[in-house]
Amino acid sequence: MLSVQPRTSSGGGKSREEVIGEISKGIEDQTPVHFDMDTVMEKYPTLYNESMNTVLA
Amino acid sequence: MSEELDKMCTSLFNNQVPDIFSGVGFLSLKPLSSWILDLNQRITFISKWINEGLPPAFWLSGFFFPQAFFTGARQNFARKHIVAIDELEMDFKIYDEIDPQEVAEKPEDGVFCYGMYLEGARWNKTIHMIDESKPKQLYIELPLIWYVPKRNREKPTSGIYDLPVYKVLSRTGTLSTTGHSTNFVQYIELPTKEDPAKWVRGGVAAFLALRY
């Protein structure tokens, strides 16, 4: 169904490009920064008695 | 525009997770909008762990590879009590009177976990066993579970149902190089007063994530 529909709409409403742009912007805005793995490794080093640190990092 | 980019745009437009996202992401059947929410919840779970230290109860759905987490839990126990890790099997205790969010302290041994959805049956808080589903309740959340490793544990032969736990609703996976399934996580022993065959026939299983 979707493949036979026109890719660009004429007249009112948002174009396909606009919709995709908005969605991408929305995702980008929600995306947090990367984890700082060096700090994590420092705070949760690989320990004999705490395997959960290995699970985390 | 490259083919990849074109495919990604089509997926974004149709609220589907683009292949280049799912290819490197966790196993999921969710549409894109829920997928993003799920991703952010997982990140929040890990961030909280990083900032505030070990959580008292673990949100199982937040793990990419939960099996490794349980190995870690068994290893912790093995090293603390100086026993061989391969002699340890998990014992299960279900705490249906505490809200997982309200757990303030982690257990002395083992781990508290939550975040599983039960399909095909429900948890009866009065008898502390699995029971028939109530009308119009397709999925219910399983209560907090305490996993505690036990040495040379003998598996109970009656009064339990071996509940299979999967990551997602499809109930199928492929075997990966670690010897684990990409979908199946583990069996949990749930107490039942009925013949476990009844729950087997009902296809009762638990999932770490739903379709929405």
Determine, yes or no, domain membership for A4. no
Determine, yes or no, domain membership for B161. yes
Determine, yes or no, domain membership for A51. yes
Region A10-18: mean pLDDT is 76
At CB < 8 Å, which residues of chain A contact B? 2, 16, 19-20, 23-24, 27, 30, 32, 35, 40, 43-44, 48-52, 54-56
Determine, yes or no, domain membership for A41. yes
Binned at pLDDT 50, 70 and 90, residue A12 comes out as low
Looking at the predicted structure, is the pLDDT value of residue A19 above 80?
yes
Q: Return the CATH number at B98.
A: 3.10.490.20
Binned at pLDDT 50, 70 and 90, residue A6 comes out as low
Q: What is the mean pLDDT of chain B?
A: 95
Closest by Cβ to B36, choosing from A20, A27, A49: A27
Closest by Cβ to A49, choosing from B32, B69, B80: B80
SS3 content of chain A, % helix, strand, coil (to 5): 55, 0, 45
A47: domain range?
A: 33-57
Determine, yes or no, domain membership for A3. no
Taking the CA of residue B189 and the nearest CA in chain A, the distance in Å comes to 24
B144: domain range?
A: 54-207
Find where tokens 């996993």 sit. B147
Determine, yes or no, domain membership for A9. no
Determine, yes or no, domain membership for A49. yes
Determine, yes or no, domain membership for B212. no
Determine, yes or no, domain membership for B30. no
Alpha-carbon distance of B110 to B90, in angstroms, equals 9
Binned at pLDDT 50, 70 and 90, residue A14 comes out as confident
Alpha-carbon distance of B150 to B91, in angstroms, equals 6
> What are the backbone dihedrals phi and psi of residue B181, each rounded to the nearest 5 degrees, phi first?
-85, 155
Region B48-72: mean pLDDT is 95
Structural domains counted in chain A: 1
Determine, yes or no, domain membership for B102. yes
Q: What is the pTM of this model?
A: 0.89
Could you give the 3-state DSSP secondary structure of residue A15?
coil
Looking at the predicted structure, is the pLDDT value of residue A9 above 70?
no
Structural domains counted in chain B: 1
Determine, yes or no, domain membership for A50. yes
